[in-house]
Amino acid sequence: MDDPTVSSTAAPPLTGARKMPLRRAGSGAVGDRVFAALAYAAGMLVLVLLGGIILSLLIGGLPAFRAFGPHFLVDANWDPVQQQYGAAVPIYGTLITSVLALLIAVPLAFGIAFWLTELAPAWLRRPVGTAVELLAAVPSIIYGMWGFFMIVPFMSSYVQPFVIDGLADVPVLSDLFQGPPFGTGIATAALILAVMVIPFIAATMRDVFQTVPAVFKESAYGVGCTTWEVMRSIVIPYTRVSVMGGIMLGLGRALGETMAVTFVIGNTNRISPSLFGPGNTIASLVALEFPESPAGSLKLASLLALGFILFVISFIVLAISRLLLRPRAGA
């Protein structure tokens, strides 16, 4: 027989147990709404800040766009005395140094990440990985000083004379590598940029390579694949999107780098056919000319227009990377 005393004393805890989740659910719903509102505000803040920066640059650069029109983008003349300004030289310098930096940095960064994840002994992976990450924390002004006092003399004394003399009789390459060996120039700036972006790309590649499930690689090794075949056929396809994101992160820093490039590029407003020739980038030109630009002047408007153009270039690069990452039909 059931004891009524036991059943009556057991009922209240069950009732209380039913009520507790209701109170938690109500409190959790309020917390979820507050958290969602804060997250939404944070996301909108990013858009507002980005839109405000772009809008301010566009409004500030409108006098230059009105004065010079579309010709501003292709004019290589930058003459503050005659009030003639063109963006061709810094646009060319920005693009060529960034592309050259990626051509140098991406293979080296891939090699570093590949070695750290697949070949390096366990006791050496952490120190080398930490050293790579520390390179990303070095201020750009330090890279610029290092480039000016160490790389420029080395380039002018050894690298540039050797390359210029060695390629003097080669039809196309002689034009790309000619001129006096001053040490500064587009090639030196690209080399410094490559050193600066390698840590970002290498650290990203290393982290995403480590996210590949071990069973995938073990299965490939089990059927006789070599280490390089596993990397090429398993790891890279699995991490393609993240690897491209790391490369775009490095390109973003290369496009906007200022002081390190200013130290070594030569700061000359002309387009040279030689990679050893001096040049300018948008960021370096703005850094040099901005302190001498009076408020409301056409020169200041031209510099703000260059800043807007740099935003547009970055947006185009990002859009191209998104197109490259779109899944292909039938893939």
**Is pLDDT at 201 greater than 70 in this prediction?**
yes
Candidates 192, 134, 159; CA nearest to 276 is 159
**Is pLDDT at 17 greater than 90 in this prediction?**
no
pLDDT at 327: 54
pLDDT at 6: 46
Taking the domains of the chain in order of start, what are their residue ranges? 68-325
Burial of 44 (0-12, 13-18, 19+ CB in 10 A): exposed
CB of 263 closer than 8 Å to CB of 148: yes
The CATH class for the domain spanning 68-325 reads mainly alpha
Residue type for 212, please?
Answer: V
Calpha distance 259→295 (Å, rounded): 23
Calpha distance 22→15 (Å, rounded): 12
| Mean per-residue pLDDT, 180-204 | 91
Q: What does the DSSP 8-state code read for residue 292?
A: G
pLDDT at 328: 46
Calpha distance 307→73 (Å, rounded): 13
Query: Whole-number mean pLDDT of the chain?
Result: 84
pLDDT band at 259 (very low <50, low <70, confident <90, very high): confident
pLDDT at 187: 93
Q: What does the DSSP 8-state code read for residue 72?
A: G
Q: Answer with the residue of higher pLDDT: 73 or 25.
A: 73
pLDDT at 150: 93
Two tokens, residue 117: 């994840």
Q: Answer with the residue of higher pLDDT: 2 or 137.
A: 137
Two tokens, residue 168: 């003097």
The string of pLDDT tens digits covering residues 234-257 is: 888 888 888 888 888 888 888 888
Q: 213 by DSSP, 3-state: which?
A: coil
Q: Answer with the residue of higher pLDDT: 329 or 305.
A: 305
Two tokens, residue 154: 């080395």
| Mean per-residue pLDDT, 53-63 | 91
Candidates 62, 80, 322, 279; CA nearest to 186 is 279
| Mean per-residue pLDDT, 272-287 | 90
**Is pLDDT at 278 greater than 60 in this prediction?**
yes
pLDDT at 25: 52
Two tokens, residue 25: 């659910």
pLDDT at 173: 85
Interior/surface letters 154-181, b for 16+ CB within 10 angstroms, e for the rest: ebbeebbeebbeebeeeeeeeeebbeeb
